[in-house]
Amino acid sequence: MRSSQWTGPRYFRTAFLTGTLSAGFSLGAGMVSAARAQVKMVPQPWQIGLQAAHSPVKVAIDQLNDWVSGLMVLVVALVAGLMLYCCWKFNARSHPVPSKVSHSTPLEIVWTLVPVLILVAIAIPSFRLVYYEDRTQNADLTIKVTGHQWYWEYTYPDQNNLDFSSYILPQDQLKPGQLRLLDVDNQLVVPVGKNIRVLTTSTDVIHSFFVPSLGVQRYAIPGRTIETWFRANDIGTYYGECNQICGMNHSQMPIVVRAVSAQDFAAWVVQAKTKLAAAGSTVNLQLAEAAR
C-alpha cells in the first residue's frame, strides 16, 4: 500500500477503548501544541504526549501509538490480575495442600496463542504504516536532502535545481521570537497541502532527517538515496533535528520546514533564485579579486 491516502481498518483508525488514558495524555499535549501551530510547531514545556499531527503520516503514526498503548494496558491489566489471583488462590492459608499438577496442555496452548495473537495485532497495522510512509506515487514536489557535518543542503530538482544550505543560527545572532538550537538561516519551504517527495543522502556520515509533527524521519546515508514523503496540512513552521548521533556537532543540525500557500511558494522560489544568483555573483567577484 503506497497510496497517499490512509486506508487503515476501522479498528486501527479508532484508538483502542482501553488506551484512552494514553490517548488523553497525547490529546491534552496536542491541544496545547495545536494552539500555536500557525506560529511554531515545537515541543512544549512539560509535554507528555506526542506533538500534534499536521500530516497524514503523522495521523497514522498517532493512531498506531494509541492502538499499541491500548494493547499494553490490556496486557498489564491481565498479568497483574493473574498475579493477584494466584496470590489469593494459592497461598499457604487458603491452599494448604500444594497441587502436584506440573503441566496443563490447554493452559500452555492458551498462553502461547494469546501472545502470538497480540503480536499479529501489532504487526499488521505496523507493516501497513511502514509501506504507507515509505513513498508517494503522486508527488507534487521533489526535494533532495543532503546531510553534512554539520548542516543540511536542500535541492529542488523541479525548480531548476534550486540549491542552498541551511545552518543553525548562532545564539548571539538570534532575533526576538527565534528559538535557540532550533532556528536556521535558510528554511526548507514547501507548499501546503501538497505531497512532498523527500530524497535523503549524505556526504560523510549517517544523519537523520526528522520532523516530528510532520511524521517524517529518514536516515541520510553516504552512497545511498532513500525516499520518503510528507504533506503539511496546515500553514505554519515545523521544527525538527537530526536524531542520529553524527559527530561532535550533532546537536547543531536543526531542521525548519515552513509550509506556505501555493502563491507564496511560487514567490519564494523566484526570490530564492534571485538571492542565490546575487550570492553567486558576490562569490565570483571575490574569487576574481583574489586571483589578481
Could you tell me if 100 and 175 lie in one domain?
Answer: no
Position 284 pLDDT exceeds 70: no
Whether 116 is covered by a domain: the verdict is: yes
Per the CB < 8 A criterion, the answer to whether 155 and 102 are in contact is no
Nearest to 197 by CA among 61, 52, 4: 4
Give me the domain span that covers residue 167: 141-280
- Which pTM value belongs to this model? 0.76
Whether 1 is covered by a domain: the verdict is: no
Could you tell me if 165 and 264 lie in one domain?
Answer: yes
**C-alpha span between 191 and 28 (Å, rounded):** 29
**C-alpha span between 178 and 4 (Å, rounded):** 33
User: End of a domain among 111, 132, 153?
Assistant: 132
User: End of a domain among 132, 167, 196?
Assistant: 132
Could you tell me if 127 and 150 lie in one domain?
Answer: no
- Which CATH number do you get for residue 160? 2.60.40.420
Whether 169 is covered by a domain: the verdict is: yes
pLDDT value of position 177: 85
DSSP-derived 3-state class of residue 202? strand
Whether 102 is covered by a domain: the verdict is: yes
**C-alpha span between 158 and 83 (Å, rounded):** 61
Give residue 103's pLDDT band: very low, low, confident or very high (50, 70, 90): confident
∠ CA 78-79-83, nearest 5°, is: 120
Give residue 126's pLDDT band: very low, low, confident or very high (50, 70, 90): very high
Mean pLDDT of the chain: 82
Could you tell me if 230 and 104 lie in one domain?
Answer: no
With pLDDT > 90 as the criterion, what percentage of the chain qualifies? Answer: 53
pLDDT tens-place string over residues 254-281: 999 999 999 999 999 999 888 876 665 4
Per the CB < 8 A criterion, the answer to whether 76 and 253 are in contact is no
What does the pLDDT average to over 106-131?
92
Whether 49 is covered by a domain: the verdict is: yes
